Each structure stands twice: as structure tokens, then as C-alpha cells.
Copies of this chain bind each other. A is one copy, B any other.
């Protein structure tokens, strides 16, 4: 079934009884987006927390000059959303757009609230996910401050080889916080070095 990957993901963190699994399934809905479609749009209120079942998304933001800044990618077994917007019901800061045909499991705000109440451990699940996400985000800030672009690119390649394959280079440059031309030059240099 479509939700298999979600269930097995969740049970890596908490145990679910059969009944709880049923409750979970009642509160989640699968949806497929085509390549290019938006799951979240900057300015709209974000309605869902999304778990990627298949496909690939980018989360980005457009600055005043219309430049795109990639915040993160999400592939199978990742969560993606504009959490700030979902919780506060304020307009989203970010866009989440599909880079491929993408299937997600969606939780509305209300579904999450009910799950927090009805499934003990669900709140813990999200606390743990958030702890990891926060720690990773902080590491990324330091990495940007302490390491030159070439090494950041190498680390990215090591850490996310799948994403490197699936995503156009100019988006990776944006994620790394450098221009696409500069990333191209870094790559040329790396080829030369080998």
C-alpha cells in the first residue's frame, strides 16, 4: 500500500499498535503532484505537513529581486512543509515545488492536532524529527561560515549522492549559497585535480 513507507518510517522512532496505525491512516491522505506543481506557495497559508512517498521537491524562496534561494530538497522518506506557516496559519515564507512527479502523504493541521491527542508518542515523534532537523540546520549555518564553497560542495555530494544525481546543478548551487557559474568552475577544477 502507498503508506507502507510512512508507517515503517514512523515505527523507526515510536511503536504503533494496530489501532493506532488505523487512527494514523484515517488522518492522512495521499496526493500526487506532477513535475512543476506547487505543494506550498509563498504567500498562501500552508495547509499540510507532507511526507514524501516518491519523487523529489525543492523548497525555495524568492527575494525582492526575484532571485530564487533553495532552502532544502526532499526525496523519499523526508518531510517537507512550511512548518511556521502551518502552525501559525500565517502566509508561507517558502514555496515547495515538485522537481519530479511526486507522491506525498499529507497531514492537515487539524489531523496533526488529533493525532497528538489520540496517539501517545506521536508528539514525541515530531519532537525527535524537529530536534534532528534543528541540529542539522545549525550545522549548515556553521558549515557556510567555516568552509569554502568547494568543500561545501564535496560534503553535499558525499552526504546526498542521490540528490546530486536527481537535481539540476544550478539548484544545488543555490542550496549551497553560491552562483551557478561558480559551482560550474568548482566542478571544472575538481575534474582537473583528478
* Contact surface of A with B, Cβ cutoff 8 Å: 61, 63, 67, 69, 71-72, 83-84, 87, 93, 116, 123-124, 126-128, 130-135, 137-142, 144-146, 174, 177
Contacts and interface: CB of A to CB of B under 8 A. Distances in A.
Q: Copies of this chain, how many?
A: 2
A6 to B, nearest CB: 19
CB-CB nearest 8 A-B residue pairs:
A130-B130, A145-B177, A137-B137, A84-B135, A134-B134, A123-B123, A127-B127, A63-B146
A134 B139 contact: no
B142 A140 contact: no
Contacts of A132: 84
A131 B84 contact: yes
Nearest to A137: B137
A131 B131 contact: no
